[in-house]
Structure 1
């Protein structure tokens, strides 16, 4: 039995456009009863919202097959048992994941944690409040380190860019949850219920997907449909200092190479 941890943006879709062969790849997984989980650093949406977005693109995936950095952050805090008061800098996906795990959002008192993800209404006031809590001893948890995010209009600052300002002002380094952190990878592998050696990590980003897979002891496949492309792949690999097990034009190419290895 093999399992698959699959990235979303740049691997299955780009913004509001499905990537060719993405729907067929998911169908292939279902047809062969292969275990998989869609693992995303995006903290802004719930699994249900992600599944709905995929369905709109013609990709049929149940919400239970989606695992977000917000869910992983909530799981991490639960395991720490360091208190349940959270000051959140983020959006609905993060808030819902925290509340579903029993955490109380701070009402102005000093929280046990500052948990930060993408926040497209980030402001100087939010920066100040987060820094003050960290200066008073709150633990800093970051959903994901992505400095830039793809969008329909081009790249935009990600959660990692906001974290850079909070860290610079507070002097506090965060615990990073999302890829390439071993934290989210370990949780995702546990959900599959398979040894890491039997799991493939598939994604378009060498620095997050492939590095995360390698650190977790998984096999890795880079698809050239997002951050990595046929034009820049050698530059991407050199900058990361990593070599994935497979480099694929797209997900259909992965199936062909995977079937060839299996035979």
Structure 2
């Protein structure tokens, strides 16, 4: 029988800030030892897979660059499949720019095929105005993701990619196409990267509107962990539910629960 595989969100699932969540290192390294395939999925387009890998290695996770799949990678590959050697005006950082270059795209300041919006810690209004005028002249608006905000240190938040995209959509009257979670584009790419079928794929995440919605819509088994942005009280606000709810990824070190998850039992875990 073919082994199951895991798509795993990172922030709020296996670490918070620069510290791993208890049990996460043992769980991930255990997957590696058992040769169960896994891929980390992130809607953060700022960092390259190498940067992310370095951070995880420092925490004790035995992972390689190939184990990481960012929305920047998904965006670049999607655009390359639609238009080879295209051009883009980008509001974003190194991770997104690197992936676009790897996909054969040129970054330009005039008449681009696409205006691409990613994560950015320093965004100038001048760049936004420039992007707006390019969109009004026919450039297609692409978002790496539509997350409205992003958690940072000390329980604070900063405006996310989705907030900037919403401003451009409002100003231009053009709707963006988003590639990151919960888009089926990224979810399907990730599944195929692990060479899994739908019923062989398990998604572990902490966000209902991205991880659980995206994976559930694809027919994957979904596991919601409560160490991130979603609490049990939040679940009443959604018209869908995860297959399993766990307090922490540490719960999956329990062999009985782990076997239920990979067996795709649809009885939610009560923890």
> Given the alignment, which residue of 28, 35, 38 partners 2:37?
35
8 Å CA contact 1:197, 1:218 repeated in 2: yes
8 Å CA contact 1:224, 1:249 repeated in 2: yes
Q: State which drifts further: 175-184 or 253-262.
A: 253-262
- Could you tell me how far apart the structure 1 residues matched to 2:261 and 2:147 are? 33
Unaligned runs of 5+ in 1: none
Partner in structure 2 of residue 141 of structure 1:
142
> Following TM superposition, where does structure 1 have runs of at least 4 consecutive aligned residues deviating by more than 2 angstroms?
259-263
| Residue correspondence of structure 1 range 171-182 to structure 2 within 5 A | 171-182=173-184
> Given the alignment, which residue of 23, 26, 45 partners 2:25?
23
Is 1:247–2:245 an aligned residue pair? yes
Is 1:120–2:121 an aligned residue pair? yes
Deviation of 1:246 after TM superposition, in Å, equals 0.6
1:153-202 residue CA offsets vs partner (Å, 9 max, x unmatched)? 41111111111111111111111111111110010011010101110000
- Could you tell me how far apart the structure 2 residues matched to 1:150 and 1:262 are? 30
Q: State which drifts further: 83-92 or 69-78.
A: 83-92
| Residue correspondence of structure 1 range 204-243 to structure 2 within 5 A | 204-228=206-230, 232-235=231-234, 237-243=235-241
In structure 2, the residue corresponding to 1:33 is in which secondary structure?
Answer: coil
Deviation of 1:262 after TM superposition, in Å, equals 5.8
Q: TM-score, normalised by structure 2?
A: 0.92
**Aligned pair count?**
258
> Given the alignment, which residue of 93, 103, 109 partners 1:101?
103
Unaligned runs of 5+ in 2: 264-271
- Could you tell me how far apart the structure 1 residues matched to 2:110 and 2:159 are? 29
1:123-182 residue CA offsets vs partner (Å, 9 max, x unmatched)? 210110000010010111100111111111411111111111111111111111111111
Deviation of 1:4 after TM superposition, in Å, equals 0.4
Distance 1:51 1:82, change over 3 A: closer
- Could you tell me how far apart the structure 2 residues matched to 1:51 and 1:85 are? 28
Is 1:129–2:130 an aligned residue pair? yes
In structure 1, the residue corresponding to 2:162 is in which secondary structure?
Answer: helix
1:70-102 residue CA offsets vs partner (Å, 9 max, x unmatched)? 000001101112761110110000000000111
Partner in structure 2 of residue 258 of structure 1:
258
Partner in structure 2 of residue 78 of structure 1:
80
> Given the alignment, which residue of 44, 47, 55 partners 1:45?
47
1:21-60 residue CA offsets vs partner (Å, 9 max, x unmatched)? 1100111101211011001000000000001111122222
Q: State which drifts further: 158-167 or 87-96.
A: 158-167
> Given the alignment, which residue of 72, 89, 92 partners 1:90?
92
Partner in structure 2 of residue 187 of structure 1:
189
Q: Please report the RMSD computed on the Cα atoms of aligned residues, expressed in angstroms.
A: 1.4
